[in-house]
Amino acid sequence: MAYCYHINVRSINIYPFGGVIKYDSVIDRPFKEELLINIMGPVFQIVLYIVICLLYKNYLISDYFFNIFKNYHYSMLLLNIMPVIPLDGSKILNIFLNKLFNFQLSYKMLFYISVIITIVLVIYFNNYSYIFVISFIIIELIYYIKNKNYIFNRFIYERYLYENRFKKYKKVKSIDKMYRNKKNLIKYNKIYITEKECIKKIKGV
């Protein structure tokens, strides 16, 4: 799916609980593209489960293998759909947050939601089997919040450098309130100007 949308895969990291794919792409991709890419992980896992079930019903795999796979499947599916950075669920939630709120606020909200859920995981799932997963999530959360200024500045400069192909307009009060998937009209000296004009005036590019 990433290949169909011309997204370069930067890295694929394999962990005991699954894989994490990181992409090199612009931040403000169409929501539809982003949603299709991010639901492919859970969808593939469900399809694989259906295939294993069919094999099991036709006596092609043992009870032992099927039971192990079934337990693994439910655990991994639940983990992947959780709205916690950097899991697939957080990326899907981020799309809906960005549809409702500006980019910077959505970024912060996703972080706080992830922290709250991670705290719940630490309290209620403090056995050894979850230590690696929770540790991985905490490391990613630290990276996420440390890079918030870089990500926001990158978002701004991408809006300046690349053509804005979105059709809907949104009036905002400042450059910090810009929305994704919109043509933002930003208030500057009591008048509304385009994104590129405002970025050029404020950032001096």
| Rounded Cα gap, residues 41 and 89, in angstroms | 10
Per-residue model confidence as pLDDT tens for the chain (205 residues): 544 545 565 556 655 555 566 666 788 989 998 999 889 888 888 999 999 999 999 989 999 999 988 888 888 888 888 999 988 899 999 999 999 999 999 999 999 999 999 998 888 876 666 777 888 889 999 999 999 999 999 999 998 998 888 999 999 999 999 999 999 999 998 899 999 999 988 876 6
Is residue 115 classed exposed, middle or buried when 0-12, 13-18 and 19+ CB atoms within 10 A define those classes? middle
**pTM for the complete prediction?**
0.82
| Rounded Cα gap, residues 115 and 105, in angstroms | 15
In the β-sheet with 191-194, what is the strand arrangement from edge to edge?
Answer: 169-172, 183-188, 191-194
What ranges in the chain are assigned the alpha helix state H?
Answer: 31-57, 63-81, 88-100, 103-124, 131-146, 148-161, 195-203
Indicate the DSSP class of residue 167: -
| Rounded Cα gap, residues 160 and 149, in angstroms | 17
Query: What is the model's pLDDT at position 14?
Result: 59
| Rounded Cα gap, residues 147 and 22, in angstroms | 15
Query: What is the model's pLDDT at position 22?
Result: 61
Give me the residues paired with residue 106 across strands.
none
